[in-house]
């Protein structure tokens, strides 16, 4: 996998993570040139089976966050498996894992007791649900549970309805992004100090940190946040409105936009109405404003209105479903759907102009690169076969059975 052009070319990552937060982080690193070796347990990453849909026996869930990596399968509870890990870490910049708190320590390879001493420049990122200590320390990390306990679910949904889980696994994805920037910050700091360091990332902290502006509002006012549906707690109008052709989302950020919006609807006088003249006024009178807009927009062609308002600098978007977004010309223009060797996935959102990221390889089949990686580490074919026979390493032929 040639990554010569990527911003992270030469950055080597040993990835022990499974499921989502860690793999999402390491795929992003790999997309931008990092060399990532994904080590799965002999039973594999469970998301390989999280389907349908499947392609060549692999679930879309796994395929979506594991491209550009080489994959091996290794029993890290065994001393022989740990020796393979140590050989990989000799040239690695970062070890990322999401084992339950205390697992590496139980195996005798924890950061303080083993990794820090042997690999002083190593960045060790540990992702858990709630951290290693505290009232929830050591509890298993699941996205929906973290969403619930962090308050994320409580503010999602309609005012008179039940709290609703955010459809995307935001606690997991948020933790993956936090891990990503934390690793890069640690790598930058290492250029000054010459030292690696441990990083702790939790789904709980990550989810809680994303609750803006609800946290900010509560910490300032002391008023319990309420569910607002599609509306915004601080801005009006900011909601979904039904037109004759589709639903549209209108999100007015300032008074100038509101004046343009009302002029385009043929109602310029509403922007001068004392009830709606400022955002604070519109917030206080949002029920009256919502009723007025719903009545006015019901006969509009939402698709045409969205284009007209965007051209005027007024935030408005027709509510599109996933198939329409995938097929949209702008999605193609932004290269947000990529294909490689039969793999089809989401494109790279960060466009570095001089050192762009690339999709160089499809996600690895289970244990696909076990022999290749161990051979690079200096193991002979006979030694690799012996490790496989002992159940320490899984080879591709065993993986296919």
What residues act catalytically? 172
* Residue 294 vs residues 39, 85, 223, 299: alpha-carbon distances, Å: 54, 61, 29, 10
Dihedrals phi, psi of 201, to nearest 5 degrees: -130, 135
CA distances from 168 to 152, 153, 197, 331, 382 (A): 12, 12, 31, 19, 46
Beta strand extents in 286-350 (DSSP E only):
316-318, 337-340, 343-346
Query: Quick one: angle between helices 21-31 and 170-193, nearest 10?
Result: 50
Q: Report the side by side order of strands in the sheet with 316-318.
A: 238-242, 247-251, 316-318
CA separation for the pair 125, 95 (Å, rounded): 6
Within a 10 A sphere around the Cβ of 311, how many other Cβ atoms? 9
H or E segment at 128?
strand 123-128
3-state helix, strand, coil in the chain (%, to 5): 40, 15, 45
**CA nearest neighbour of 63 among 351, 342, 394:** 342
> Could you tell me which residues come within 8 angstroms of residue 134 by beta carbon, excluding any fewer than 6 positions away?
none
- Token readout for 359 is 């999709």
Distance of alpha carbon 259 from alpha carbon 276, whole angstroms: 10
Please report the sign of the dihedral spanned by the C-alpha atoms of residue 333, residue 339, residue 344, residue 349.
Answer: negative
| Tally of CB atoms within 10 A around 366 | 22
């Amino acid at each position: 996998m040639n990554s010569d052009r990527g911003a992270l070319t030469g950055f080597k990552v040993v990835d022990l993570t499974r499921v989502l937060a860690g793999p999402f982080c390491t795929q992003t690193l790999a997309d931008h040139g990092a060399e990532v070796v994904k080590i799965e347990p002999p039973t594999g990453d469970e998301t390989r089976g999280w389907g349908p849909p499947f392609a060549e026996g692999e679930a879309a869930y796994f395929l979506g966050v594991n491209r550009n990596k080489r994959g091996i399968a290794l029993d890290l509870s065994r001393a022989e498996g740990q020796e393979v890990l140590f050989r990989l870490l000799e040239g690695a910049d970062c070890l990322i894992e999401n084992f339950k708190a205390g697992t590496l320590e139980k195996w005798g390879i924890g950061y303080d007791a083993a990794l820090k001493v042997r690999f002083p420049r190593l960045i060790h990122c540990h992702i858990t649900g709630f951290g290693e200590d505290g009232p929830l320390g050591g509890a298993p990390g699941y996205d929906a549970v973290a969403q619930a306990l962090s308050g994320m679910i409580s503010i999602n949904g309609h005012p008179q309805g039940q709290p609703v889980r955010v459809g995307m696994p935001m606690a997991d994805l948020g933790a993956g992004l936090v891990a990503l920037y934390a690793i890069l910050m640690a790598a930058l700091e290492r250029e000054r100090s010459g030292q690696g360091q441990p990083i702790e990332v939790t789904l709980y902290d990550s989810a809680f940190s994303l609750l803006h502006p609800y946290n900010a509002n509560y910490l300032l006012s002391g008023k319990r946040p309420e569910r607002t549906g599609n509306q915004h707690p601080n801005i009006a109008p900011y909601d979904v409105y039904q037109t004759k052709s589709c639903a549209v989302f209108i999100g007015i950020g300032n008074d100038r936009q509101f004046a343009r919006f009302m002029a385009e609807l043929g109602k310029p006088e509403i922007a001068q109405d004392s009830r709606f003249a400022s955002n604070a006024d519109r917030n206080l009178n949002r029920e009256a404003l919502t009723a007025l807009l719903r009545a006015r927009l019901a006969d509009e062609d939402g698709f045409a209105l969205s284009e007209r308002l965007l051209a005027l600098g007024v935030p408005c978007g027709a509510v599109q479903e996933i198939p329409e977004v995938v097929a949209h010309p702008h999605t193609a223009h932004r290269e947000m759907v990529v294909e490689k060797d039969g793999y089809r996935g989401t494109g790279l959102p960060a466009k570095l102009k001089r050192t762009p990221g690339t999709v160089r390889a499809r996600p690895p089949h289970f244990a696909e690169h076990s022999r290749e990686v161990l051979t690079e580490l200096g193991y002979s074919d006979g030694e690799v076969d012996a490790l496989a026979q002992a159940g320490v390493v899984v080879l591709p032929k065993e993986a296919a059975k």
